[in-house]
């Protein structure tokens, strides 16, 4: 859908976007006119209208692998990153000095406030571009909305939230597509750019690399607890703040230093996304790689450990743990609740970075200069008897 028809009622303004070194005039959509809704209405909690929340709505890894096996591979010399390694985004080379980064992320509500839902969904989608070392340049939205139950005012707030994060990222929310549905769904398709030499994939980790995490985990547990009445909004707020934080600064730091591999931690949890890095890197390097994770070094959002012990776990986290279990080794002190936390389905999580040990201090310094609040060294990549084996240590 063209921008002019996608967001009726928006006042457009002109702004400039720098793409591949050139300033280009674009249409941006930063503000709403008063015609969004003449009658604000009381709406039900957004999360009450969906069976799953945020990135926990992802199809289980085992089912996704089985489905993708039916998709024929197409050789394209321009495609630098495609389906083979299950990376965060596709990368298509256009010139010797320019490649496109392409991604799409859509999910059901993870919070009840439409504005925050839009902010979180936008930050989550943009994260894929940052994880590849790229810079986003534009976005299109997709929304499915129960108009009778929620109305246009709430939809307007959702889009305002998404636009606010796009403004922070310096890009236009340039248009989109909408349908009526019983369950709310929202997300962005994002296009970014990167120099081909600066692409950071999930397939470059080496034995001995340090593993650095740039956000605390536990968003799946906290949002599930809120939906079940097991925590307050004040206890949920740190998770909302984390999910709305862009990974732009962490991405700048890792590109400046030069790292071996990276991914963002979202719906497959820390264990699932780390497993993807290990398998992709094993395939690329031709030797099986595993990892050691020191659980006490993994930063958790407040109240997560307590809530995990009383069963506040989304279904996606349990599926993640079941998928990881065959290659998971756990110390005696790592109980089931701790394992679920390590597998917790994140939404708009931080970057998980594999960096050569001699560059670790430089990365931590760069993250600090970029004012990245969380910069935890949580473990290391090791040689293994099987690709993807992860040891959880106390």
Residue 3 neighbours by CB distance under 10 Å: 18
Of 192, 188, 132, nearest to 164 (Cα)? 188
The residues that bridge with 188 in the sheet, in sequence order, are: 105, 141
The residues that bridge with 90 in the sheet, in sequence order, are: 102
* Contact by Cβ (8 Å): 213, 352: yes
* Contact by Cβ (8 Å): 276, 339: no
List the catalytic residue out of 55, 244, 313, 330. 55
Of 189, 73, 58, 70, nearest to 129 (Cα)? 189
Residue 154 neighbours by CB distance under 10 Å: 25
The residues that bridge with 31 in the sheet, in sequence order, are: 11
Distance of CA 60 to the CA centre of its chain: 16
Secondary structure of the chain in HEC code, one letter for each residue: CCHHHHCCCEEEEEEEEEECCEEEEEEEEEEECCCCCCCCCCCCCHHHHCCCCEHHHCCCHHHHHHHHCCCCCCCCCCEEECCCCCCCCEEEEEECCEEEEEEEEEEECCCCCHHHHHHHHHHHHHHHHHHCCCEEEEEEEEEEECHHHHHHHHHHHHHHHHHHHHHHHCCEEEEEEEEECCCCEEEEEEEEEECHHHCCCCCCCCCCCEEEECCCECHHHHHHHHHCCCCCHHHHHHHHHHHCCCCHHHHHHHHHHCCCEEEECCCCHHHHHHHHHHHHHHHHHCCCEEEEEEHHHCCECCCHHHHHHCCCCCHHHHHHHHHHHHHEEECCCCCHHHHHHHCCCCCCCCEEEEECHHHHHHHHHHHHHCCCCCCEEEEEEEECCCCCCEEEEC
Note if 55 is an active site residue: yes
The catalytic site residues sit at: 55
């Amino acid at each position: 859908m063209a921008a002019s028809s996608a967001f009726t009622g928006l006042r457009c303004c002109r702004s400039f976007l720098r793409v591949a070194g050139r300033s280009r005039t674009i249409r941006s959509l930063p503000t709403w006119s008063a015609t969004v809704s003449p009658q604000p209405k009381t709406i039900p909690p957004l999360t009450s209208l969906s069976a799953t929340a945020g990135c926990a709505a992802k199809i289980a890894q085992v089912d996704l692998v089985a489905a993708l096996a039916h998709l024929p591979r197409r050789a394209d010399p321009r495609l630098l990153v495609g389906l083979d390694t299950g990376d965060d985004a596709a990368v298509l080379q256009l010139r010797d000095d320019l490649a496109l980064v392409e991604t799409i992320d859509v999910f059901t509500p993870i919070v009840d406030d439409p504005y925050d839902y839009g902010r979180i969904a936008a930050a989550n989608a943009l994260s894929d571009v940052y994880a590849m070392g790229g810079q986003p340049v534009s976005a299109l939205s997709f929304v499915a909305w129960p108009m009778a139950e929620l109305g246009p005012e709430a939809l307007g707030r959702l889009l305002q939230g998404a636009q606010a994060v796009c403004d922070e990222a310096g890009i236009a929310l340039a248009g989109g597509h909408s349908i009526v549905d019983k369950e709310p769904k929202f997300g962005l398709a994002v296009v970014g750019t990167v120099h081909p030499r600066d692409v950071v994939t999930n397939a470059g980790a080496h034995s001995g690399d340090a593993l650095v995490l740039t956000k605390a985990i536990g968003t799946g547990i906290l949002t599930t607890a809120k939906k079940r009445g097991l925590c307050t909004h004040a206890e949920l707020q740190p998770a909302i703040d984390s999910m709305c934080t862009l990974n732009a600064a962490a991405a700048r730091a890792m590109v400046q230093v030069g790292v071996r591999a990276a991914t963002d931690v979202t719906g497959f949890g820390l264990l699932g996304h780390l497993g993807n890095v290990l398998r992709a890197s094993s395939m690329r390097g031709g030797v099986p790689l595993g990892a050691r994770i020191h659980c006490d070094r993994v930063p958790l959002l407040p109240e997560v450990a307590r809530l995990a012990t009383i069963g506040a776990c989304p279904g996606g986290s349990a599926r993640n743990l079941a998928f990881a279990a065959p290659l998971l080794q756990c110390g005696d002190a790592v109980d089931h609740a701790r394992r679920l936390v390590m597998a917790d389905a994140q939404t708009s999580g931080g970057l998980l970075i594999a960096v050569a040990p001699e560059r670790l201090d430089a990365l931590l310094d760069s993250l600090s200069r970029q004012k990245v609040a969380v910069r935890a060294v949580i473990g290391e990549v090791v040689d293994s008897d099987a690709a993807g084996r992860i040891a959880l240590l106390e």
